[in-house]
Amino acid sequence: MKPEKDLYRIPSESPLQESLRIADELHYTPETQPEAFAIVGQIQNRLAHYRAKTHRPSKNRLFALQLRPFVGVKKTSVEELREREATIGGTLHARASDTVRQRFWYHDNNDWFFETTNGQRQTTVIHIEATPTSLYKRSNGDDVPFQPGEPELFVESAIKYEEKLLETLYSAEDQRAA
């Protein structure tokens, strides 16, 4: 039995060089750019951190409810924070002339939403899932291809969203103090 010649061959390039060559051959599209996931992933982690610091559930809910009116303590639920975030996020994008309501927010678990309601009360929801390896766009549960420039616009929107939330809802001073 003869040994395989390729099995004992000295590689002509290092594993790193081979990985870089393969990555170059893949021709990443904007929705599969690793840099975008790193940026969006960091924003998602910080947003979860801001929410956790702002929302402090009480161990004794009844005691907290009884004391709240007297000491002025305002406990904000995560749902209330998301609603506020969605309203603030909706101001980041230009509105179409027939749009009566527009919201943009990070929900959790890599899920982002853009929702518009027009004058006839028809609501359109776009769901963008930002996984560690790519972006996925869905509308009404169906996968929808990204239009040219949309992945870049989404990353820019996520950055502006965080900045706007820090200016209005989660002040930078409060986050450092907490």
Q: Is residue 16 part of a domain?
A: no
User: E strand or H helix at 27, and its extent?
Assistant: none
Which structural domain, as residue segments, surrounds residue 106?
51-177
> How many domains does the chain contain in total?
1
Arithmetic mean of pLDDT over the chain: 78
Q: Is residue 33 part of a domain?
A: no
> Rounded to whole angstroms, how far apart are CA atoms 4 and 94?
63
Instruction: Note the pLDDT tens digit of each residue in 4-53.
Output: 555 555 555 566 666 566 656 655 565 666 677 788 989 999 999 998 88
What is the pTM assigned to this prediction? Answer: 0.69
pLDDT of residue 113: 96
Backbone angles phi, psi at 21, to 5 degrees: -65, -45
Q: Is residue 34 part of a domain?
A: no
Instruction: Note the pLDDT tens digit of each residue in 75-130.
Output: 568 888 999 999 999 999 888 888 899 999 999 999 999 999 998 999 999 999 99
Q: Is residue 131 part of a domain?
A: yes
> Rounded to whole angstroms, how far apart are CA atoms 155 and 107?
16
* Chain position carrying tokens 């769901």: 127
